[in-house]
Amino acid sequence: MTDAVVVTDIRKSYGDLNAVDGVSFTVAEGEFFGILGPNGAGKTTTLEIVEGLREPDSGTVELLGVNPWPRNPELLPRVGVQLQASSFFERLTAREQLETFGSLYGVGTAKAGEMLELVGLTDKADVQENKLSGGQRQRLSIACALVHDPDVVFLDEPTAALDPQARRNLWDVLRAIQARGKTIVYTTHYLDEAEILCDRVAIMDRGKVLALDSPAALVRGLDAPTRILLQPGALPLDTARELEGVDTAAEDEVSLTISTRKPARVLSTLAERGTLDGLQVRTATLEDVFLDHTGREYRA
């Protein structure tokens, strides 16, 4: 597999602020790659440097084998971009937006209908952009990024500020795009979402990449204990502490929490004893990875 994006040690500062401070990563063709991190981490700046919208102070970018800076008109048709602010033409309907963006790439108007279908906006085709809901606007914005059938798609926080239902609808759209063989690079500040969607993620904070791998590998690499939660009083605390494989156990008004690195062993013991009341199992998440690297709780 060849790499769609190769970023090597890019830096960008605004005055004293190092917005991007030595970022490197590669994205393989067909991969769904996530850039995660809290607001101000440098996600947008990184993405826009890769897209060729901003010039890095130093470092190199190869997008589909070429340098995107300065603006390279031959590269542009192969790249689709959704900017963080959804940029639409004023007072055009959903269909007209797609037709206009398409025409910038020499795409016929027939493509607009297909795109509306892909993002589930067929029944909103004749509605003006400013009358769409937040989720519909995001989907339209993604459709506009895809209308010319690019190989690589960059999406900047497509799910930000959406309600849970709209977010899930959008996930389906993103998966459908990946199924078409596109390379997707997207940013989000929802770590849980990235864990579900992405093949690999780069977790950013303060302009640097903290960790870069598949979500599963990152979590596994933490070697963090699994926490098993039971109803308080489900079994005596001392008994719980002495079960095989249990590292620690603690109890409060809400739950009895057992930490273990052998969750299978502990769960089967608990099952044998018939003490599974109110059972919840929590494994580590990307938020724990963030905490592990920064010593701070993750706050989007």
Ligand X SMILES: Nc1ncnc2c1ncn2[C@@H]1O[C@H](COP(=O)(O)OP(=O)(O)O)[C@@H](O)[C@H]1O
Residues near other proteins, by CB under 8 A: 51-53, 71, 73-74, 76-77, 79, 81, 83, 85, 87-92, 96, 99-101, 103-106, 128
Partner from Mg ion, ligand X, other proteins, none binding residue 223, C-beta < 5-8 Å depending on class: none
Which CB atom, from 101 or from 154, has the smaller least distance to Mg ion? 154
Burial (CB < 10 A; 0-12, 13-18, 19+), residue 253, is: exposed
Which CB atom, from 90 or from 272, has the smaller least distance to other proteins? 90
Which CB atom, from 96 or from 157, has the smaller least distance to ligand X? 157
The two three-digit tokens of residue 66, written as one number: 């070429």
Cβ atoms of residues 33 and 198 within 8 Å: yes
| Main-chain phi, psi angles of 117, to 5 degrees | -65, -45
Which CB atom, from 77 or from 245, has the smaller least distance to other proteins? 77
Cβ atoms of residues 187 and 43 within 8 Å: yes
Interacting residues toward Mg ion by CB under 5 A: 43-44, 84
Partner from Mg ion, other proteins, ligand X, none binding residue 83, C-beta < 5-8 Å depending on class: other proteins
- Give the 3-state secondary structure of residue 123: helix
Cβ atoms of residues 299 and 258 within 8 Å: no
* Nearest-angstrom CA–CA distance, 186 and 169: 16
* Nearest-angstrom CA–CA distance, 165 and 162: 8
Q: Is 148 in the site for ligand X (CB under 6 A)?
A: no
Q: Smallest gap, in angstroms, from Cβ of residue 209 to other proteins?
A: 24
Cβ atoms of residues 141 and 131 within 8 Å: no
| Main-chain phi, psi angles of 179, to 5 degrees | -60, -20
Q: Smallest gap, in angstroms, from Cβ of residue 291 to Mg ion?
A: 22
Which CB atom, from 54 or from 95, has the smaller least distance to Mg ion? 54
Which CB atom, from 42 or from 135, has the smaller least distance to ligand X? 42
Footprint (CB under 6 A) of ligand X, residues 35-94: 37, 39-45
154, HSE (Cβ side, Cα atoms, 13 Å) = 25
Task: Give the residue, chosen from 19, 79, 94, 132, that forms a contact with ligand X under the rule CB under 6 A.
Answer: 19
Q: Smallest gap, in angstroms, from Cβ of residue 147 to ligand X?
A: 24
Q: Smallest gap, in angstroms, from Cβ of residue 47 to ligand X?
A: 8
Cβ atoms of residues 205 and 35 within 8 Å: no
Binding residues vs ligand X (CB under 6 A): 14, 17, 19, 37, 39-45
